[in-house]
Amino acid sequence: MNNAIWLAAGATALGTLLIRMLPLYWMQRRRSEASVTEREAAIPAWPGMLAPLMIAALLGISLAPQPGSALTWGATMMGSLATLSGWYTTRSLGLPVAAGVAAYALVVMSGS
């Protein structure tokens, strides 16, 4: 493999680690510096909102297919419907996303 691919993979892995590690480290430090009675108040509200906001950002990026053909738009619609109905049923993230990816793949594979 080319060295540029390894550098890109390493940079991606490091960036992903830092995105997860820095808020955790910051929160642990902030909680350890607070007194016992202030620990709950030391936790800000934004970490609880960060994960759903990142998922919404990824959803917004991934909804519009790159080659704008009827097949990819149909697959995107079916994947979105499967994800939304799965979320409505389970109120979780893992299974609905897997169902949406499977629905997208089935439509694309059946159209090829």
CA atoms within 13 A on the CB side of 105: 6
* Residue 21: per-residue pLDDT: 86
pLDDT of 32 reads 78
- What backbone phi and psi angles, to 5 degrees, belong to 102? -65, -40
Q: pTM of whole model > 0.85?
A: no
Find out whether 104 and 78 touch, Cβ atoms under 8 Å: yes
Cα-trace Rg, the chain: 20
pLDDT (0 to 100) of residue 98: 84
Per-residue pLDDT of the chain (112 residues; tens, 9 = 90+): 578 888 888 898 898 888 878 878 887 887 777 776 666 666 667 666 766 777 766 776 666 666 778 888 888 899 889 988 998 998 887 788 888 888 988 998 898 7
Domain borders along the chain are: 1-44, 47-112
